[in-house]
Structure 1
């Protein structure tokens, strides 16, 4: 009997606290040299919006940590899948900074967030192993690829895969890039089940790491407002990241489709990491250029405009929103082919081709 890796449930935690762009109008931004940016904050914000597409983002309430959001999204996915949580073989949580208590910037990774999630959900089965994955923004999609490998090796049948992050707690308020980042969590249940006639499931994957000169394109550094503190915040070389993504991500996406035996004309939706609207649009355009084709207007749903960039949480959250009919003009039907793709710190890239 042929088996396939199939998504049977999804969930998301979207914080209620909305931070609109206007909230930054009183900010004083600095550049990487420590010099204040002389342009009026409203001009900086307008330019930021025109490039990233972000109008607002979500921040987690002070009493909620990344583990809490992960557990909430995970419980939704479990409920949606209708499986008994005690039948899970693995809980895998992708993140970058662990639990960061509100008002601090210290990462807490012991115990692992996946163990915290297992505890919060009250899952007692020892054979359900819990562990974390740190691969930058592509971390959640990496858990999908990794779990597919576990399945085909005969070592698991049901897994809960979560991406969660509270980036609002590790940003430098004096850095204009801080406006990109947000908080949230997304999750799926992935099961290894007998393949149906429609051959639903994962069709192929690709992954790459470029870690020579690219390794520090996204890193940790001191505040741009040079105040003598040794505290480190998330930093990004925006132009380098942009150029890297446009050069490498379309090729990795095509490699994934080639491995899957799928032509670009067969793809119904592209769910790409919500990093930057302009960058994502150009990545998809360049992918289609590799086939001498033009992307359909409805090929790439977006959530960055109102959710911002929540790193590992963007793709599973977007997938759940579409499945829940909460992204206008977008739906996923049985048999549709979806191309997932992500890029981020490392620098790492991955892609997954999936038939719903």
Structure 2
């Protein structure tokens, strides 16, 4: 095990320009899982949706942009905010779930890997910069970050670029009201091994996978439109099951990571949790307060971007981190020696958490 600290040296994001507001779904044809239309009109469906998820708008990539393009922009921004050159990268890890998809085709393209495409787009000539992808549901960026930390601690790397990217809007069923949750985007971070004397860095991590009945909570399935079933498959969620699963297990995973780090809730300055659903994230935090026997002012402690950016899957946490670092998330800032917790839950079902002290 290498005697060093692992810090984040550079953060960047790519927030697509195209804004899609809730009212843009007023003319959608929404069906239930049984193929029947809802009795409520779309205005009522959207009103309830916003009340539960907190989402008012989301971002979609331009038609000529793929997930690897968004990843490249985020990576360039992270490198520009770092102290290293791209040629110094030992690994590029790109987390995603559906690869590159062209508009209207629904075909996923993962060969060559998106990480290799990012290396090509960055014009990195160093053959020792190794590239691979991670498919781990919405927690993919965080799991990739855990791998980066472990590789650096094992002495296999010094600088690792980790990117989470998705054009998830291209794999949703437009006849499923859950399609309004998802959005596109990319976020990137550079993890670096530094002197063991550094005051800060990754303190701990935890991960878990539940794959018995939970396996079907997030999966691919046919459209809900009874007359348009043609074999194409889209993201399908069992929202209530996911909510119940997350409420029971995510806070425990966070507490496990905190215990490993010897950190109490009172010591934590911010928790950056995957932007899946506003009500669910709030419920997870309340559960964490309960099991820790401590509370924090929720609005100050847990930043939220889902209201305007939607759920961009693997991109939500690094994008939020970048916005805070650039003082573009009102009411939130990160200072030296702050202790942060990153946490995510998603298809698998996977959960992970990381405790990080800002140098």
TM-score between both structures, scaled by the size of structure 2: 0.98
Question: In the TM superposition, what are the counterparts of 1:1-356 in structure 2 within 5 Å?
Answer: 2-197=3-198, 199-226=199-226, 227-297=228-298, 298-356=300-358
Segments of structure 1 that go 5 or more residues without pairing to the other structure are none
Post-superposition offset of 1:189: 0.8
* 8 Å CA contact retained: 1:28, 1:37: no
Partner SS, residue 10 of structure 1 = strand
* 8 Å CA contact retained: 2:15, 2:186: yes
Root mean square deviation of aligned Cα: 0.9
State how many pairs are aligned: 355
Q: Distance in 2 between matches of 1:99 and 1:8?
A: 27
Segments of structure 2 that go 5 or more residues without pairing to the other structure are none
Residues 100-139 of structure 1, C-alpha deviations (whole Å, 9 max, x = no match): 1012211100111000100001011111000000000000
Residues 2-44 of structure 1, C-alpha deviations (whole Å, 9 max, x = no match): 4111001000000010000000011121111111112100000
Q: Distance in 1 between matches of 2:337 and 2:221?
A: 45
* 8 Å CA contact retained: 2:3, 2:153: no
Partner SS, residue 137 of structure 1 = coil
Q: Distance in 1 between matches of 2:55 and 2:276?
A: 10
Runs of 4+ in 1 over 6 A off after TM superposition: none
Q: Distance in 2 between matches of 1:74 and 1:179?
A: 27
Q: Distance in 2 between matches of 1:293 and 1:35?
A: 46
Partner SS, residue 252 of structure 1 = helix
* 8 Å CA contact retained: 1:200, 1:335: yes
Partner SS, residue 136 of structure 1 = coil
Residues 121-180 of structure 1, C-alpha deviations (whole Å, 9 max, x = no match): 101111100000000000000011111111111100001100000011000000000000
